[in-house]
Chain A
Amino acid sequence: MNTNLSRLRSDFPILQREIKPGIPLVYLDSAATSQKPSCVLDLMMDYYGRHNANIHRGVHTLAEEATGMYETARVKIGKFIHARSHKEVVYTKNTTESINLVAYSWGRKFLKSGNIVILSEMEHHSNLVPWHILRDAIGIEIRFIPVNADGLLDLAEYEKLLRLEPKLVSITHASNVLGTINPIQDIARLAHQAGALVLVDGAQAIPHFSVDVQDLDVDFYAFSAHKMLGPTGIGVLYGRMDLLEQMQPFLGGGDMIREVRLEGFTTNELPYKFEAGTPAIAEAVGFGAAVDYLTQTGMDVIRQHEVEITQYAYRRIADLPGVKIFGHENLNRGGVIAFEMTGIHPHDVAQILDTDGIAVRAGHHCAMPLHQKFGIPATTRASFYLYTEKSEIDQLILGLLKVQKIFG
């Protein structure tokens, strides 16, 4: 492990915890949610302990400070993703809400019956169900880019689908099951040539490698703080300014308005137009601290570490008898490994690992259609992050051998 990175484990209080006396936590579930460094927790505590107030219209000191902290975080996040302006950074609850926002505020205004939206077979439920709802409401058509046996998108099929003149391609940047990192830049270029906009679900990508929304040339990019060292309850929708300007509001209420009369309202400027009601202020502040931490550590350093850990884990798991990994083995892959053990249900695998303090996830990982495609109800998934150590992979392997012994 990179020396800088092995030192940073002490920044995460939870990684010092024992699950039972003498049994330390081995946290291999970062794709579900990441752990949080002290700087994030401390800043949120400081916010509540010293600066707490509602934002934007207060003139007192606390309201000024709270507003400043909330908006400073937005600017940091905007720089982190290379947005042209922090006004393109809309706070939401999470990735799911960000995608729902586009489906509602852009979809209901600009799509009509028969218009085509392209998704893929590897999408998380959060990038499937909002489009199902929109289809049921206004009659759009949904088409899917197939996933091949290696867990990669069939791009030849994608190019054929583009001939149908879709209005939108909404696609995940990195699969939460297969580990596949999709070629977003190519996908976006082809989509734009065909006249479609591009929305990217970045939940599993932006925590792990550097993302530049201008370089990728995408129109919308959705992500969550909690998967990138920040708190739960806050996410972002990045949107190109001209598109956000044209879209209808999402939720109605305070803060999203310029003026309200009994007969109606006019909307506030960006990004507040999409931020109705008192937002998650402490969470936004914590998100800013998380982005600082990632920037200081270096996204390229994090990526390099995860590539090493993932390669090591892939080989070790693949070498076990009776284990099948879903997704390809190459360098350009994210730090998630989902696998099946012959004759043993993933819940049982996860439960037995838990007795040794090892946290993995078992189930369909909110990607039921993908599991149906591969003909399995559920998988066990180990996922890694900047704080994962090789010794933890060794622990996992010992745990999996124990599982096989119990069911042997």
Chain B
Amino acid sequence: MDDLYRETIIEHYKNPGYRGVLDPADISFEDNNPLCGDHLRIDLRINADGCITDAAFSGHGCAISQASADILLESIIGKHLDEVKKMDKQDVLDLIGIDLGPVRLKCALLSLKVLKSGAYGIHQGESIELDLD
């Protein structure tokens, strides 16, 4: 745990750089983690080349889910949507740098799930299922 709640996680949770709402946004998507009631929304702005110029997240959740969202959004600024679509579980785990059990993995991956659902342009309410194995 002392790893789980290492300083970077607590820092991103307390002072997130990407918390907020973009209005207008080019892509907005939101989803819940029904297990714990966490809710996350991500807004993206995309330029003519399909690259992400700005990103923001809002909602509520635990330190792991909120910090993961902040770290994930920080990493995708300037990236092309196609690169985002290719991101997987391991990319997020590498970014946050902590080891998680199966229950908390869902917390950390909620932001990736919401982000990829948005990137694929899926209709609200039909978010994608991530391979968690």
Task: Give A contacts to B, CB under 8 Å.
Answer: 344-348, 351-352, 354-355, 362-364, 368, 371, 377-378, 406-407
Given contacts A348-B62, A348-B63, A351-B104, contact A378 B4 (CB under 8 A): no
Query: B35's closest neighbor in chain A, by CB?
Result: A363
Q: Bound complex: CA of A147 vs CA of B12, how far in Å?
A: 38
Q: Is the CB of A377 within 8 A of B37?
A: yes
User: B39's contact among A346, A364, A371, A377, by CB below 8 Å, is which?
Assistant: A377
Q: Is the CB of B5 within 8 A of A378?
A: no
Nearest-CB distance from B110 to chain A (Å)? Answer: 12
- Which residues from B are CB-within-8-Å of A347? 36, 61-64, 104, 107
- Which residues from B are CB-within-8-Å of A364? 36-37
B54 within 8 A of A: no
Q: Bound complex: CA of A364 vs CA of B33, how far in Å?
A: 12
Interface residues of B in 23-41 (CB under 8 A from A): 35-39
* A/B pair count, beta carbons within 8 Å: 49
User: B37's contact among A344, A354, A355, A371, by CB below 8 Å, is which?
Assistant: A371
B49 within 8 A of A: no
Closest 8 CB pairs of A and B: A345-B62, A347-B62, A355-B1, A377-B37, A348-B63, A348-B62, A363-B36, A378-B37
Best-surrounded residue of B1, B2, B64 (most CB of chain A within 10 A): B1
User: B61's contact among A345, A354, A355, by CB below 8 Å, is which?
Assistant: A345
Given contacts A347-B62, A348-B64, contact A368 B37 (CB under 8 A): yes
- Which residues from A are CB-within-8-Å of B2? 355
Mark interface residues in B95-118 (1 if CB within 8 Å of A CB, else 0): 000000000100100000000000
A–B Cβ pairs within 8 angstroms, 25 of them:
A344-B63, A345-B60, A345-B61, A346-B36, A346-B62, A347-B104, A347-B107, A348-B5, A348-B62, A348-B63, A348-B64, A351-B4, A351-B5, A351-B64, A355-B2, A362-B36, A363-B35, A363-B36, A363-B37, A377-B37, A377-B39, A406-B5, A406-B10, A407-B10, A407-B63
Q: Is the CB of B1 within 8 A of A345?
A: no
Query: A353's closest neighbor in chain B, by CB?
Result: B1
- Which residues from B are CB-within-8-Å of A363? 35-37
Number of interface residues of B (CB under 8 A): 18
Q: Bound complex: CA of A280 vs CA of B88, how far in Å?
A: 42
Query: A377's closest neighbor in chain B, by CB?
Result: B37
- Which residues from B are CB-within-8-Å of A406? 5, 10
- Which residues from B are CB-within-8-Å of A377? 36-39, 60
Q: Bound complex: CA of A355 vs CA of B101, how far in Å?
A: 13
In the complex, besides A351-B4, A351-B64, A368-B37, 6 extra interface pairs with C-beta distance below 8 angstroms are A352-B1, A355-B2, A363-B37, A371-B37, A377-B39, A407-B14
- Which residues from B are CB-within-8-Å of A344? 63
Query: A403's closest neighbor in chain B, by CB?
Result: B5
Q: Is the CB of B62 within 8 A of A354?
A: no
Q: Bound complex: CA of A368 vs CA of B39, how far in Å?
A: 14
Query: A354's closest neighbor in chain B, by CB?
Result: B1
- Which residues from B are CB-within-8-Å of A368? 37
Mark interface residues in B1-22 (1 if CB within 8 Å of A CB, else 0): 1101100001000100000000
Q: Bound complex: CA of A344 vs CA of B60, how far in Å?
A: 11
Nearest-CB distance from B19 to chain A (Å)? Answer: 14
Q: Bound complex: CA of A377 vs CA of B66, how far in Å?
A: 15
Q: Bound complex: CA of A364 vs CA of B35, how far in Å?
A: 8
Q: Bound complex: CA of A371 vs CA of B61, how far in Å?
A: 15
Nearest-CB distance from B45 to chain A (Å)? Answer: 28
Q: Is the CB of B35 within 8 A of A345?
A: no
- Which residues from A are CB-within-8-Å of B36? 346-347, 362-364, 377-378
- Which residues from B are CB-within-8-Å of A407? 10, 14, 63
Nearest-CB distance from A129 to chain B (Å)? Answer: 13
Q: Bound complex: CA of A406 vs CA of B63, how far in Å?
A: 11
Nearest-CB distance from A256 to chain B (Å)? Answer: 34
Query: B37's closest neighbor in chain A, by CB?
Result: A377
- Which residues from A are CB-within-8-Å of B62? 345-348, 351
Best-surrounded residue of A346, A364, A377 (most CB of chain B within 10 A): A377
Nearest-CB distance from B104 to chain A (Å)? Answer: 7
Nearest-CB distance from A350 to chain B (Å)? Answer: 9
Nearest-CB distance from A364 to chain B (Å)? Answer: 5
Q: Bound complex: CA of A241 vs CA of B39, how far in Å?
A: 47
Q: Is the CB of A345 within 8 A of B63?
A: yes
Q: Bound complex: CA of A362 vs CA of B64, how far in Å?
A: 14
